[in-house]
Amino acid sequence: MQVPFWSEFTHLILQILNGLYSMVGSYGLAIVLLTIAMRIVLAPVQWKQTKSMYEMQRIQPKLKALQAKYKNDKEKQQAEMMKFYQENKVNPLGGCLPLLLQMPIFIALFRVLRYDLPLEIAKLPAIQQTAAKSFWIIMPDLTLAPKVVFSASGLVAALPYVIFAVGFAVSTYLPTALMPNAEKQTKTMGLYMSLMMLYIGWISPGGVLLYWVTSSILQIAQQQIQLFFIARTEGA
């Protein structure tokens, strides 16, 4: 079944990449520029996410005390916890929003790189095709997944793709791990998530991995800068 507007959205991503490619002559650099643009657009949401995660860690001792107090009355416990969140102006799901907002782009980029972009590159003169589909000498073909490169050419040729796939997995874990006083359970969930992402990275086109790893590096940098200012504000 066709999802409404999905074809239009994937076509929009393709058109944006084509427009950026016309300026820089490389779809790899075009993906990096797209990533930077998305991080700028998501910056306000990122700020709210970091603030929410910081506040969640700050109130953890009081939250645990509340859970212990009503441990024999789950209904009362849930009601008191929701009241506690409201009083402290904390959204326990706030940290999920940036990830959810990025998923449509991730999925659309996956489709574009696997199906649409190879057709676009094939239209180019042969002399331009190699540079168009590569990310410098790091990944010769951004439309191929690590699994495909490994099967066709072996580990040496696939190594850059594998490194990006590992980076893709690690980058889903680091934002949580770098939060001050992060709960052990939270870190464990992040670890399981990163293992699932490792498999997804293994079958994803190199351009998708480039997008996500670049986005995650920028996100971590944003997060650390924001945590510095939040901590300074809270301590003032």
> Is the predicted pLDDT of residue 3 greater than 80, yes or no?
no
Token look-up 């997060």 returns: 223
Cα dihedral across residues 148, 150, 152, 153: positive or negative? positive
* d(C-alpha 80, C-alpha 13), whole Å: 44
Q: Is the pTM of this model over 0.95?
A: no
Stretch 24-34: mean pLDDT, rounded? 94
Q: Kindly state whether residue 20 falls inside one of the protein's structural domains.
A: yes
- Looking at residue 95, what is its pLDDT? 58
pLDDT tier at 70 (50, 70, 90 boundaries)?
confident
Looking at the structure of the chain, the number of domains it has is 1
Q: Kindly state whether residue 85 falls inside one of the protein's structural domains.
A: no
Contact at 8 Å (CB) between 84 and 92?
A: no
Q: Kindly state whether residue 68 falls inside one of the protein's structural domains.
A: no
Q: Kindly state whether residue 148 falls inside one of the protein's structural domains.
A: yes
| 144, amino acid identity | L
Q: What pLDDT digit, counting tens, does each position of 6-21 carry?
A: 888 999 999 999 999 9
The tokens describing 104, both together, are 């449509």
pLDDT tier at 187 (50, 70, 90 boundaries)?
low
- Looking at residue 208, what is its pLDDT? 95
* d(C-alpha 112, C-alpha 17), whole Å: 10
Q: Which helix (H) or strand (E) holds 161?
A: helix 155-177
- Looking at residue 136, what is its pLDDT? 86
**Residue-number span of the structural domain to which 116 is assigned:** 6-53+96-235
Stretch 66-94: mean pLDDT, rounded? 76
Stretch 92-114: mean pLDDT, rounded? 79
Q: Kindly state whether residue 194 falls inside one of the protein's structural domains.
A: yes
- Looking at residue 227, what is its pLDDT? 79
Average the pLDDT over each of 98-102, 103-107, 159-163, 170-174 and give the range with the smallest value. 98-102
Q: Kindly state whether residue 59 falls inside one of the protein's structural domains.
A: no
According to DSSP, the residues that pair with 139 across neighbouring strands are 135
